[in-house]
Chain A
């Protein structure tokens, strides 16, 4: 443990953590745009700068470790002035279209500009003017809104392991891009959307069938039903419709999802979706209750087993079930029915 003073108050914190981590644990708010604790320290947005006693230069709290006796000012005049100027610089090179931007209400740039009183970008110079890449089925990339925090690039590289996107050009002309700027559709992108989830602004946005504002939706935490991993996610519900999905922090998925969980939610409200079991009677499917269906299954199994023996039966289970469910299924086949004829779709 080390003793550090933050804004005049002395604290004891663990050693070998950064100032930002210490402040997060102590509930001292520090703005960040490029920080993500799942990723290697990056230090690009410079919003988390703090003043250290005895140092003229400001230090990024996300990349500076605490030291015994350190005296930190997180909101001194100089720090606040610098943060305001950084936000001004960012906003000066950003479309001022918050009114129609899909990200409004969930945008960190918007939040911090509000917090630090930056009403508009005061530098009336050159602004980026790139075309929007909407070649991907599920999301769009607007380089003009990008603040180059690099989260998307790093998530794709360090967490997703796909490395479909990277930076091109230098300085003011820097842009997140695919190899040879061929567009997302022609890249190695697997459409997992983890970049979209990491984007703090409106540069990467999911394509929406139904428009909604961040404050209009209710977030319902659930487990993804596509496979047995058990990824945690939020269903975004507007009225009684699921309008989107966002990854949630959870042990199995570390805030990540795959393309199915992230974007494959339209079946939920689909008119063709089966909502009750069906039994074929006289060549036609008819709706039935679960009790009826289970009775029918049990009787058929018993009948076949008695007539032809247990090996006349085989069970095939699904990757959409959890590990526990799959375990129980094979247990039922082996112990109850008495056959080893059991398999799983993931093997096919």
Chain B
């Protein structure tokens, strides 16, 4: 077991070895001459890049470096860099050169040119890292320069499997400070003053929650980290757990100290095997060092953390269903007759916070509530991590101060819409959220503002939709997800969402009826006001918001049997215009022989036979095939 002094020593010693990594925090390209001898290749090990065999890439780098006889080059894999769109991503320090879409065969070239000859391989530079011939430091790339990292502070810098690197960047200092210098009330008050709100979606003030559990007298209390991230396309929590697992462990231990709990659980989905593995390593290291377990840092405070794996039910992200699951029962929400902070897991006072919430706690304890409140808005302080996806150029993981507008996130950080199509809407909050149209793009992103315009902050999913997306179909997509994931306990959610989905399927299939819109609205009201848990109460949001902002699209489907976005297959017709040159390619590619025509004459599609697969459109060399 180590003491506070020893913790400080580990920090200083490790920091010396990490000097190159700290260049990531600088903003200027260093003098190439001076930086020639010692280099660091940092490979992104985030969820997206990791799937491109980054371990093998690292081995290839090391092999070539050895062949070239370079001695002062370190190769390291770190957590998510965020810009998943252009992965696999690699950064070279101290210069801060940002390479993207690096393939295995590009590695020798980087070593030969960049490391040996000190010539940047321009063709591999990230598009944003070069502007009118001038190479930018990675932190100056547009994707990064509006971001502010608190929860993701160590992601993409430290080696996630090395507790010492976490300690070097102030890790476990907050815990040491809290348990040796602060009372439980002081910790709670600091979190309360920081105005930190739950990052899982609902935004309940974290400090107030902790205080409720602290004040309730019980022989046993529990801390649970909700890592059952389930929104389609969301991977914020996964990236934090994979890139910086200790920040979550430290946050949980701080909560344990504040409320008087000795046991914590991380409820994590089994579909995150990498995160589970890294958490296991992190917990083991922390226990070995005495930063978890009995008498932490020689004090009276003891706190242990165990993992509990979920089997993949979305509803288990709901707090009470999560507790049922930990207790060994089927994951179904239970009614909150009593508060979870009073009677939660096994009937004991329990705090459930999200991964990102816990990751925010250590910096608050170290830098103070005023610092945290100075970031973000009055309603919502700090930052929020978003998984930016959909039809946006730079898909990936971003962390921005609360109050950043949707426009800044989508257009400045996200680089605008793919293929320069027209923006239509942004969907926030996953299946529980809503679609926000263009007129609200300047809305600042915080808890209050998003709910005012019919959506929610949610856990951080942000899906950008363009003119080719049909809003009825988007609502159908989310409802399909909810119907699949409803636990089946309460009637409005189990039966209501299914009927809602059936109506939406009917409308997108061109069989919508005049009464369907009223039906959707009345169902939405019942499901929202009558369901047992948060899943059901928010399930209708995608329908409510699209009905509010894009009612004309619903009406076009129902009354004109037309899909304005050209997305609903059943309502489309493929047609060959007079641009046709009679090359016969379309007729040959048609799987059902629905296209007739002679060579060098305009071809015609038999709409009765056509199965709308779009193969003709793809092969036409002159763009004569259109959807209408």
Query: A residues bordering B, Cβ < 8 Å?
Result: 18, 41-47, 49, 56-58, 60, 62-65, 78, 82, 85-86, 89-90, 92-93, 123, 125-126, 147-148, 150, 166-167, 169-174
**Which residues of chain A come closer than 8 Å to B489, judged between CB atoms?**
44, 148, 150, 174
Contact (Cβ within 8 A) A171 B483: yes
Contact (Cβ within 8 A) A126 B488: no
- Nearest CB to that of A89 among chain B residues? B495
Interface check B343, CB cutoff 8 A: no
Identify which of A46, A57, A171 contacts B498 (C-beta below 8 A).
A171
- Taking CB atoms and an 8 Å cut-off, the chain B residues in 80-123 that contact chain A are none
Interface check B275, CB cutoff 8 A: no
Identify which of A43, A126, A172 contacts B335 (C-beta below 8 A).
A43
Contact (Cβ within 8 A) B499 A92: yes
**Which residues of chain B come closer than 8 Å to A166, judged between CB atoms?**
330
Count how many pairs of residues, one from A and one from B, have CB atoms less than 8 Å apart in the complex.
106
Interface check B537, CB cutoff 8 A: yes
Interface of A is mostly: loop
Query: B residues bordering A, Cβ < 8 Å?
Result: 313, 315, 330, 332, 334-337, 483-499, 502, 522-523, 525-526, 528-532, 537
Within the assembled complex, what's the spacing in Å between the Cα atoms of A174 and B335?
19
Q: Would you mind naming 10 contact pairs between A and B with Cβ atoms under 8 Å apart? A: A89-B496, A148-B494, A167-B330, A170-B485, A171-B487, A171-B493, A171-B498, A172-B488, A174-B488, A174-B489
A219 CB → nearest B CB, Å: 30
Contact (Cβ within 8 A) B495 A46: no
Complex A-B, nearest 4 residue pairs according to Cβ-Cβ distance, in ascending order: A174-B488, A63-B335, A43-B335, A171-B486
**Which residues of chain A come closer than 8 Å to B335, judged between CB atoms?**
41-43, 60, 62-63
Contact (Cβ within 8 A) B490 A172: no
**Which residues of chain A come closer than 8 Å to B492, judged between CB atoms?**
46, 86, 89
Within the assembled complex, what's the spacing in Å between the Cα atoms of A169 and B313?
11
Contact (Cβ within 8 A) B529 A57: yes
Within the assembled complex, what's the spacing in Å between the Cα atoms of A16 and B289?
47
Within the assembled complex, what's the spacing in Å between the Cα atoms of A42 and B330?
14
**Which residues of chain A come closer than 8 Å to B498, judged between CB atoms?**
125-126, 171-172
Contact (Cβ within 8 A) A90 B491: yes
Within the assembled complex, what's the spacing in Å between the Cα atoms of A57 and B530?
7
For B486, B489, B490, which residue has the most chain A Cβ atoms within 10 angstroms?
A: B489
Contact (Cβ within 8 A) B502 A44: no
A92 and B313 in contact (CB under 8 A), knowing A46-B530, A148-B488?
no
Identify which of A49, A65, A123 contacts B337 (C-beta below 8 A).
A65
**Which residues of chain B come closer than 8 Å to A167, judged between CB atoms?**
330, 332, 488
Identify which of B330, B334, B484, B526 contacts A86 (C-beta below 8 A).
B526
A161 CB → nearest B CB, Å: 15
A198 CB → nearest B CB, Å: 17
Within the assembled complex, what's the spacing in Å between the Cα atoms of A167 and B315?
15
Given A43-B334, A123-B499, 13 other A-B contacts at CB below 8 A?
A: A43-B532, A57-B528, A60-B532, A63-B336, A82-B525, A86-B492, A148-B489, A166-B330, A170-B315, A170-B486, A170-B488, A171-B487, A172-B494
Identify which of B315, B495, B537 contacts A92 (C-beta below 8 A).
B495
**Which residues of chain B come closer than 8 Å to A170, judged between CB atoms?**
313, 315, 484-488
Within the assembled complex, what's the spacing in Å between the Cα atoms of A91 and B531?
18
Contact (Cβ within 8 A) A89 B499: yes
B452 CB → nearest A CB, Å: 15
Contact (Cβ within 8 A) B337 A63: yes
Within the assembled complex, what's the spacing in Å between the Cα atoms of A273 and B526?
57
**Which residues of chain B come closer than 8 Å to A62, judged between CB atoms?**
335
Contact (Cβ within 8 A) B491 A46: yes
Identify which of B490, B525, B529 contacts A44 (C-beta below 8 A).
B490
**Which residues of chain B come closer than 8 Å to A92, judged between CB atoms?**
495, 499
**Which residues of chain B come closer than 8 Å to A18, judged between CB atoms?**
337
Contact (Cβ within 8 A) B488 A169: yes
Within the assembled complex, what's the spacing in Å between the Cα atoms of A62 and B484?
27
